[in-house]
Chains A and B, each alone.
Chain A
Amino acid sequence: MHLFLMIGLVAFSILAVLSRDLLKSAICLAVASIFLALVFFKMNAVYAGVFEVSVVAGLITVLFITAIALTRGDQEVAESRRHMLIFPLFFLILIVIDILVMKKLLGQIPAIAGSEAGTFGEVLWNQRTFDLVGQIGAIFAGVLAVLALFRQGGKSHE
């Protein structure tokens, strides 16, 4: 089951990259996100799974589709056919390197001592407080950037 979910995740990610239609790419990315969320649920990471489904599969897909709709008609970009043909070869080489190297590489990472106690809320509020402040800062920065960009665009049109 786990392997099936992982293969689905990678397969839909590859489809998102190789698909010629941008709308199909965005939808493939959303499906990949749902596979990733299922993997998170299987690993007992419920909160991360909920965020993955609601924010990445929901919000980001809506943002992508809105952007594609706003730029439709001008989206014909000639992608090189050569890159599409090379991809399977690239992917095979990646898998071979992955199998040869990954186990040795991960064996060198030292183990983290001790397991944690408490609930997710306690860990998030007590241990990762600065992360939360950073997140709020990132969201505000994003909102201000989008506002600034659209205001500038409106002025140049007037």
Chain B
Amino acid sequence: MNNLWILNMGFVALLIGTGIYCLLTMKNLVKLLIGLEIIAKGVTLALVASGYARDNILVAQSLAITVIVVDVAVIATALAIIISINRHTKSLDVRKLTKLKG
């Protein structure tokens, strides 16, 4: 365990915290996706930083690439859903998605 790793993981926590704050407080659907993207950045950084600290950078890189590819698929699908929602509700406000509300 070295100090650089602790520093990196500290920044990972800040990134994930910022992303969670965005997910909890923002009302715009695109902003929510941006929050998700920031959390994904934090996770990728955690993987690579841990691999670097433990001298396992190759495995860490391959896992990071997996996370990035899955993230792209998620973002593409979510943006398509957002455009579809926008066509129906004419808005990006998450509070207007009340059709399934009991």
Q: A residues engaging B (CB < 8 A)?
A: 2-3, 6, 9-10, 13-14, 16-17, 22, 25-26, 29, 32-33, 36, 39-40, 43-45, 47-48, 51-52, 55-56, 59-60, 63-64, 66-68, 70-71, 74-75, 77-80, 83, 86-87, 90-91, 94-95, 98-99, 102-103, 106-107, 109, 111-112, 115-116, 118-120, 123-124, 127-128, 131, 134-135, 138-139, 141-142, 145-146, 149-150, 152-153, 156-157
Scoring B5, B19, B62, B66 by chain A CB atoms within 10 A of each residue's CB, the highest score goes to B62
Some 21 contacts from A to B, beta carbons below 8 A apart, are: A10-B14, A13-B38, A17-B35, A22-B31, A29-B34, A32-B38, A36-B44, A47-B61, A48-B65, A55-B72, A66-B79, A79-B31, A83-B25, A98-B14, A112-B54, A116-B56, A141-B73, A142-B76, A145-B77, A146-B76, A153-B83
Q: Other than A10-B18, A39-B45, A39-B48, give 18 A-B pairs with Cβ distance below 8 A.
A: A16-B38, A17-B31, A26-B34, A29-B38, A40-B64, A44-B52, A48-B68, A56-B72, A59-B72, A60-B72, A64-B33, A66-B79, A71-B30, A86-B25, A90-B17, A102-B10, A118-B58, A153-B87
B82 touches A127 (CB 8 A): no
Interface size of B by Cβ–Cβ distance < 8 Å?
71
Q: Chain A's nearest CB lies how many Å from the CB of B6?
A: 6
B97 contacts partner chain A, Cβ-Cβ < 8 Å:
no
Q: Tally of A-B residue pairs with Cβ under 8 A?
A: 231
Contact between A63 and B18, CB atoms less than 8 A apart: no
Closest 6 CB pairs of A and B: A142-B73, A115-B55, A83-B25, A123-B58, A149-B80, A67-B79
Please provide the chain B residues from 10 to 27 with a CB less than 8 Å away from any CB of chain A in the complex. Answer: 10-11, 13-15, 17-19, 21-22, 25-27
Minimal beta-carbon separation of B55 from chain A (angstroms): 4
Closest CB of chain B to A122's CB: distance in Å?
8
Contact with A along B46-57 (1 / 0, CB 8 A): 001101101111
